[in-house]
Amino acid sequence: MTITADQLALFVGTLAVAILSPGPGVIAVSQAAFALGRRRALPYALGLALGASLWCLLALLGLTVVFRALPWTYVALKVLGGAYLVWIAWKTWRHAPDPLPDPAEGSRGMSFAGGMMLNLSNPKPALFYSAVLLSIFPVALTAGDKVAIYATAAGVELAFYGALASLMALPWLRRRYYAAKFWIDRGAGLAIGLLGLSLILRH
């Protein structure tokens, strides 16, 4: 391998700071943990983590080169992804008055596939990963380097989303959610909707 342990450590630190910024995935996995509990929320968190890490893999494989060569592909992905987030937001807003779901059953796309779809709906992480990769690692990466970088990114994403799902499923946090479900769901729907609109409208 041509990359060093120090470079990987810097990559982990940069990625950790970035994923702590509240985004649709953070909001969605928190709500899933509140409503469904840890056991049902973990598959959703796993899907979110792998969906996010796939953008790192695609950046390593040169997706951002395609975006730069054919800018319309990035615009199209942004519009489609933003529309998907707005749709998720509308469903969350509309179902806010509904009773709590049965924790033994799935709920409104809160599954492994639903988590992957949510984080794949935003192509901006591909550009983020590309910029970080270029700034930290050598330009010429071997296949082994790419495997190590992707495994590191996937590990950080999995650790973050798994920890978040477990934390937000703590009994005292769930009790607070039960007491204010309507307003929390409406707030989550509004936040995700605004993120979707900003993805569509921002250049």
Structural domain harbouring 99: 5-201
pLDDT tens track for 104-146: 454 555 789 989 998 888 887 887 888 888 788 887 788 999 9
Pairwise pLDDT comparison (51 vs 173), residue with the higher score = 51
Number of domains in the chain: 1
Rounded to two decimals, the pTM is 0.79
Which amino acid would we find at residue 83? A
Distance CA 21, CA 64 (A): 22
| 1: pLDDT strictly greater than 70 | no
| 149: pLDDT strictly greater than 90 | yes
pLDDT tens track for 49-82: 999 999 999 989 887 778 778 888 888 888 888 8
Q: What percent of the chain has pLDDT over 70?
A: 94
CB atoms within 10 A of CB 170: 13
pLDDT tens track for 90-114: 988 888 887 765 554 545 557 899 8
CB atoms within 10 A of CB 45: 29
